[in-house]
Amino acid sequence: MIVPSLSQQDVELLRADTPGVGQLIHFNNAGTGLALQTSLHAVKQHLDLEAKIGGYEAAASAKAELDGFYTALAALIGSKPHEIAYVENATRAWDMAFYAIDFREGDRIVTGRAEYVSNYVAFLQMKRRKGIKIDIVEDDADGQIDLKQLQSAITPRTRLIALTHIPTFSGLINPAEDVGEIARKAGVLYLLDACQSAGQIPLSVSEIGCQMLSGTGRKYLRGPRGTGFLYVSDQVLDQLDPPFVDLQSAEWIDEKTYRLVPGARRFETWERYVAGQIGLGVATTYAIGFGMERIGNRICALGAQLRSELKGITGSNLHDKGARKGGIVTFTLEGEPAEQTKSRLSESSINVSVSTASSARIDLPERGLDSVVRASLHAYNTEDEIELFVKALRRIGEKSPRK
Ligand SMILES: *Cc1c(COP(=O)(O)O)cnc(C)c1O
């Protein structure tokens, strides 16, 4: 089977559109992707317009771009535009869906070990407030969510399956589609945290079968910080009550009544980072233009290349799990704390991040890890950058004089 990937020419185009690439090696795309020139330009242009003609007036003149945000995000995940909400970040987007569920005492949430820290603390808050139960499904032999266990964890009281598609602290890609199949058969709500997968791999809500999905602008989509989105399927709108309402999400009818607006916009607020919405729309359209399948295949191939090179370094330990792996590569070097590896790489103008147990309480400690180095690759990264990265790491590993 031929795996469609980006051509050399595509990669050169991607790099030409990424102002940061000339200055450093950015392997921290799971933190923030390096800004895309056209998205950055759109943001700046709108801010300038606001300064020049006024914020309301600028927004009115940008109606097409603001509408374009909804069509772009819908195209990215295969939904309808009115099933998309613009939210200030992925955390609040996820919250707007989660806290919209009317949990009762004794209701159960099923989740996996990859679950994002903020989601899990929200489960704990809901447990304290309403007396819900949290069922954690173990990993299977490959390190992804165990589908058999998931199946048997579902009870008549299960209200929600909450899954993190790609964790922030590992190369794992969870089998979101298989989970969706189980959710569909059981008739249970399914909320997918697609923060690291949006822009990294292709997403299709109809294939995944989730009714709610959250994503961020700042990571693999390479949009502005302080932007995010939420997908809510038409099919579950009447089961969800937005935790907050305002003049955007609801219409004030009279002294006694308000009415929620149609579609996912009932999860939005009126006041927003307008330039950010435009910028995220531009960045998303750009990614779709290259094709998410091709982008995803390249990112996964670069991740595989880095893992295989790391295996060749004595004293390095790889920590990625999963039958299917993406562009996030986690590792440690023997005898060197992750934080030190990060700061030494930084001296060679290489950006990586560190994932700590405090953000992964039900995963990293289970594996005897308190922190790991996280190198997260994007399609604009290159094979040559991986070589330079590994060279820099070797120097660190061998403790020879740096540079
Ligand atoms: C980064 C991240 C989030 C939070 O995204 P924000 O836009 O910063 O709120 C949520 N889930 C996962 C898996 C993440 O990696």
Testing ligand 1's pocket by substitution, the residue of 216, 227, 230 carrying the most ligand atoms inside 8 A of its CB is 216
Tell how far the Cα of 216 is from the centroid of ligand 1, in angstroms: 6
pLDDT at residue 73, as a whole number? 98
Answer for the pair 73, 84: CB distance below 8 angstroms, yes or no: yes
Pull the structure tokens for residue 141: 């032999």
**Which residue bears the tokens 């009447």?**
238
Give residue 172's Cα distance to chain centre.
13
pLDDT at residue 144, as a whole number? 98
Residues near 291 by Cβ (< 8 Å), separated by ≥ 6? 4
Answer for the pair 5, 21: CB distance below 8 angstroms, yes or no: no
29 lines ligand 1 (CB under 6 A): no
pLDDT at residue 4, as a whole number? 86
- Please give the domain boundaries of the chain with CATH numbers for all domains: 8-35+292-399 (3.90.1150.10), 39-289 (3.40.640.10)
**Which residue bears the tokens 């535009």?**
81
Q: Which atom of ligand 1 is nearest to the CA of 167?
A: 13
Residue 208: what residue type?
Answer: I
Q: Which residues of the chain have pLDDT under 50?
A: 400-403
Tell how far the Cα of 7 is from the centroid of ligand 1, in angstroms: 30
93 lines ligand 1 (CB under 6 A): no
Q: Among 29, 7, 2, which Cα is nearest to 18's? A: 29
191 lines ligand 1 (CB under 6 A): no
Tell how far the Cα of 376 is from the centroid of ligand 1, in angstroms: 14
Pull the structure tokens for residue 185: 């058969």
Q: What is the dihedral of CA 280, 242, 249, 229, to 10 degrees?
A: 10
pLDDT at residue 1, as a whole number? 65
- Whole-number Å distance between alpha carbons of 301 and 330: 15
163 lines ligand 1 (CB under 6 A): no
Tell how far the Cα of 368 is from the centroid of ligand 1, in angstroms: 24
CA R_g for the chain: 22
Which class for 295: exposed (0-12), middle (13-18), buried (19 or more C-beta within 10 A)? buried
- Whole-number Å distance between alpha carbons of 163 and 216: 16
**Which residue bears the tokens 């949990």?**
103
The residues facing 35 across adjacent strands are none
- Residue closest by Cα to atom 15 of ligand 1: 168
User: What's the Cα-to-Cα distance from 278 to each of 90, 163, 270, rounded to whole Å?
Assistant: 17, 29, 15
What string of H, E and C letters represents the secondary structure of the chain?
CCCCCCCHHHHHHHHHCCHHHHCCEECECCCCCCCCHHHHHHHHHHHHHHHHHCHHHHHHHCHHHHHHHHHHHHHHHCCCHHHEEEECCHHHHHHHHHCCCCCCCCCEEEEECCCCHHHHHHHHHHHHHHCCEEEEECECCCCCECHHHHHHHCCCCEEEEEEECCCCCCCECCCHHHHHHHHHHHCCEEEEECCCCECCECCCHHHHCCCEEEEECCCCCCCCCCCEEEEECHHHHHHCCCCCCCCCCEEEEECCEEEECCHHHHHCCCCCCHHHHHHHHHHHHHHHHHCHHHHHHHHHHHHHHHHHHHHCCCCEEECCCCCCECCEEEEEECCECHHHHHHHHHHCCEECEEEEHHHCCCCCHHHCCCEEEEEECCCCCCHHHHHHHHHHHHHHHHCCCCC
pLDDT at residue 403, as a whole number? 38
114 lines ligand 1 (CB under 6 A): no
Testing ligand 1's pocket by substitution, the residue of 195, 218, 353, 374 carrying the most ligand atoms inside 8 A of its CB is 195
Tell how far the Cα of 221 is from the centroid of ligand 1, in angstroms: 12
- Whole-number Å distance between alpha carbons of 168 and 73: 21
**Which residue bears the tokens 């998303």?**
284
- pLDDT tens for 17-65 read 999 998 899 999 999 999 999 999 999 999 999 999 999 999 999 999 9
Tell me whether strands 189-193 and 158-164 are parallel, antiparallel or unpaired.
Answer: parallel
Residues near 167 by Cβ (< 8 Å), separated by ≥ 6? 114, 115, 116, 174, 196, 360, 363
